[in-house]
Structures are given as C-alpha cells and as structure tokens.
Chains A and B, each alone.
Chain A
Amino acid sequence: MSASTTAERRVAVGQRRAPSAQSWLRSDRRVGVALLAPAFAAFAVFVFYPLGKVIWLSTQGTDIFGQAAGFVGAKNFVTIFTDPQFGATMLRTGAFCLAVVAGRIVLGLLITIPLTTKLRGIPVFRALLTSPMVVSVSAASVAFAAMLAPGNGLVNSVITRFGGSAIPFLTSTQWAFASVIVVTVWGSIGFTVLLMLGAFGAIDHDVVEAAHLDGAGPFRTLWSISLPLVTPTLFFIVVTGAVEGLTTFGQIQILTGGGPANSTTTLVYNIYQSAFGAGSANFGLAAALGVVLFLLVLALSLVQFGVLEKRVNY
C-alpha cells in the first residue's frame, strides 16, 4: 500500500515538472507492482481465497465427509443463532477476552513497575519474569494440566498436605473457566512484561526529573507521567490481548476440552468442535461460525481503533 502511494505522489510531482518523465514513471509503477506481487500473492492464497471459500462454505450443507452438499442459504446461520448454547458461548468468549486483557494489563504493570527500579539483581528478575514467553502454549498447558490434576496433581497434593480439601480446578464448572484464564495470562505475561519494560525504559528522564523537581512523589509520577507516556504500548496490549482472547484454542483443548458441561467452550473452540470434534465434519456450520468470528474480530478492531485510540498519547 505504501509503495503505490509513493508512486502516485511521484506521478503528481512528475506531471508538474516534465512531460518527458511519463515513460520513467510507468516503469516505476511496474517496479511497484512487481514488489507488491509476492505479498499480494501470499495474501491471495492464504487470506482472500480461504475467506471466499469459507463464506461460500457457510451457505452450503455438508455430507458426512465434510464435502459441500448443496446450497442451503442462511440455514447454517439460523442454526447458530437459534441454538440456546450460542448466546452463552458468546458471553463466555467476551468474558474470557476481558479477563485475559485485564489480567495482562494489571499483572503486567504490577510486575513491570518494580522491575524498572535500579536495584541490584533486577536484570535477573527481568529475565526470569519474561521467560514464560519462550514456553509454547501446548507445553505450558500440559504442565499446568499435570499440576492442576484432581487426583495427584502437585497443587492439590500441597493443599491436601496442609489439611485443605482438593480443589477441582479443571473438572468443576466453577473453577475450570478461571483456570484456563490463569494459564492464558501466565502464557502471555512474559511478552507483556517485555513490551512494558521497553515502553517504560523509553520514557524521557528529563520529564521524570522535572516532575521530581516540581515535587511529584513516585506514585504521582507514575500516574501522571509514566502511565500516560506508555499508553501506546498499553493500547497495543489491549488490541493483541483481545484478539488472543477471542482466538485461544490450545489451552482449552489441552486443559478441559471445552468442558465440563461446555463451561470453557469459546467461539473458536466451538468452530473446532463443529469441524473436527470427534467425527463431526460439519464444515458448513463451522464456516458459518468462522464468518461470525471474523466479523466479530473486525468489529472489535474497528471499535478499538475508533474509540480507544483517542485516549492514546503518541
């Protein structure tokens, strides 16, 4: 997009300057198109074609092999929106996003702010606290599943050793949802802290010093100087956190399989279940759910850029 914009500007400038530049401009445009082609081809293959195919599939019935079996109009969407479970799934997905975003921001700040101080050994803590970043979601989930296991998991063994009664972290509808949120936040906290450390580190010392000279205490400096200056990073974390929340899959699949009693089934997990959940192969319904998710992510992004960004200091 930026290359063609540049080319267009050059066209405008060139026309004013000399008519002989026409041929040169055409070759410039060709170069622009040539440079764009690989990216466009990749987008066409991996984004536009699948998007078109999914929209088409969402209007199709499906046979037991997942093959399109004729036009059914809006039937798949009617199935989705008349399913009493769907509303609950959407609410759960929304709650999950909010919790993941809030967890990342609050916990991230609580970890990052002490790390910005210049104490001995802080680099070690920085390295330790950003380390979850390098652990894959699947590996972390398997480890958490083992630790939170109801029978002889580490956490429950400790709880019962000290006289408490075992907590069904992954097997009760009250706990499973919170457990998946905690694991998700844990998985993304390393990257969040890294981003925040960068943002806090980039704050101009002169500004902070000026605040000190004017008599601002550490809390006031944080609230009125540091936090406003890191809002672009916080905004980035909110956007990526919300998208992450909407699209979380691995943790749910490994920890709870969407259960118990659907209490951890989000929209993405619902798509997976419809398409690949033990022998389902209902690609028509899954595609329709995919279209719903796409519109949702798009709408969320638009809202975030339209509303939230106004509060960001660049």
Chain B
Amino acid sequence: MLKLTKAVIILFAVSLLGYGQLQAQHGHEEEETHATESHSEENEDHASDAHAEEGFNAGEFVIDHVSDSYDWHITDWKGTPISIPLPIVLYSKQPELHDGKAFHVFMSSKFHHGHSAYNGFRISESEEYKGKVVELDAAGHEIGTPIDISITKTIAGILASVVILLWLVFATANLAKKNKGKAPTGVQNALEPIIFFIRDEVAKPAIGEHKYEKFMPFLLTLFFFILINNFMGLIPIPPFGANVTGNIGVTMVLALFTFAITTINGNKHYWKEIYNPDVPWWLKFPIPLMPIVELSGVITKPFVLMVRLFANMMAGHLIVMVFVSLIFVFGSLFGPAVGLGASPISILFSVFILLLDVLVSFIQAYVFTLLSALYFGMATSEHH
C-alpha cells in the first residue's frame, strides 16, 4: 500500500514536471510574442506612441516578477516604482574607472530603478547584459560586467526564509531539549512529524538502516530549506514572494551539495559500478561505452534535480502571474470593463494554481530530498 502511494506521488510529480516545463515554455513564447507585438506596434504606428507606453506588456510583467533583480519591487504608484533598495556588491578589475577603488558596496537606489549610472556602473539594457550591472568606460559605453556578488532579491529572499528556518528549527531544538523524554509541545508538534517522515519514509528505506543517520542533518536541512522557500515564494508580500527555488542558481547549489555529498561518500562498490560495471566486456573495451554512460549519469542526476525544482517552481510562479496579467491584457485591449469582467475568472484560476503550488511545494521538497537520499543510498550501498 505505501509503495503504491509513493509510486503515485512520484508519477504525479513527474507528470507535474512535464506540465511545468510545458508551461514554462508557454510562458516564454507568450513573452516573446508580446514583446514582438509591442515592438511592431511601436514601429508601425508612431501616432499611437502614448498608447504603446500605456499599453500593458504582459511578458515583461510576468518575467519581471519571476526573475531576480537588484531591488525589491513592490508596486508602481502613479508611475513611480516603489521598491526596497538592496545592497549591491561589486568587484571591478578596472578600478581606474570607479574612483580608483576595486571593491564597491552601495544601495541599489543609487541606480534610480535602472535609469541612471552610478560611479561608472549601470544596470544594462543592452541585449548582451540585459538586467545586469555593467561597467562603463569614460565615454559611457558598456565594457563588460564586474564580479557581481550583490544581495539581490533572491538572496534577500533566501536570507528572510533562512531566518524563519533557523527560528523554527532552533525553537524545536530547544523544546526537544526541554521536553526530554516527555510529550512534544508547541512548534515541536509541527516539525517532528515531518522529521519522522524524512527519517522513516525517506532516509531509512533509501539509504538503509545502518547508514542513514549520517545523512539525516543534510536531508532535513534540504527538505526544510526547499519547503520554506517554496512557501515563502507563494506569499506575495516582501520579505516573501521572491522566486527563490525558481532560481536556477539556487537549485544548482542545492544539487551541487547533493552531488558533493554523494561523491565524497561514494564507496568502492559505487565507483566500481561506474568505471567497471558488470556488463559484457565489449561494452567496456575498446570503447568504454558503459563507463561513459554511467559517468554521464553521475552528472545527470544532480542536473535533473536542479532542473526539476527550478522548472516546477518557476512554472508555478509564471502561470500565476500569467493569469493575473490576463486581467490587464484584457483591460488594455478592450477597455477596463472587460478587464474587470475577466478578473473573477483570472483570480479563480490564479487561486487554483496557487493551491496547486502549495501541493507542488511539498512534492518538490519531498522529491528533491528523496532523490538525494536515493543517491546517497546508491553511493553507500554494499555489493548486493
């Protein structure tokens, strides 16, 4: 019965992944079409310039909301964007362009939402570096990007959810110490079932009764980190709502950790299975076909982890934003009345997708953790 449930969950997750990727693609296409539309409109009809400016660009709106940025945009009020400025940290190899200093820390408000340059830096609007901080030469031309370790919206979002994560887990740890040998209380009640679930349903079956303990801290941190960030991403009010787990850099680091732990803990049997698997000799010599396949599998596993989480969360955010932006698309195409008329349907769909995202948040955190555990299990399993 449990195995069946698991199989169904995994199947569901996989189908969601496919669906998510489809939706992501769809989002991109939409963005592109909208971009070209507004572009051509501008070119063809100069008289309606004012209209083009007022017109709602759904693609930009959606992509702006799901992508990383240097300030935390909340809303526009009468044409002025309201946003929380975030620190920008840059290291330039050409200090002569920036008052002779190589290392720069300043708030993103200095850029005035990307409209002005500061100290030889600017948020680029060119095709090559779009949205990134670029260095400008004396003449004001873009010459490339400095080393950019700014606290962007994503990083700020991570920090916010890390605070929550630390608070949750430390509260549980303190309660666990206090209630030693007693019934759990408070937040302990919320976290312990999940901890038990990770231990008994994920770590133990995947890694094995004797070795699972070593990996528990990582699996728990991973699960709670992904889960909390997934949830925070669904709450649209700062300091939440940053698309953290839908950022491929974030999922890449998570996958790298899994990869590193798998590789470090890989035992003799694991490496033998990769370099010298039990297959007919002609699959290994003269062309080492199976070793190549196995080795590519080693790389593919974390890569798939990275893409799965990224694509799912990104797709969830994209589609919610697309449904919301539909209101404004209708509004700008057929007038405010139509936009208002379309809003209940849009909101209904958005709410539905958000609820689905709550489910997906759980599933993705679970799948990432389960697959990591499976990889650890593979790395540490003895010859069978």
Are A and B bound to each other? Answer: no
Chain B residues within 8 Å of A, Cβ to Cβ: none
Chain A residues within 8 Å of B, Cβ to Cβ: none
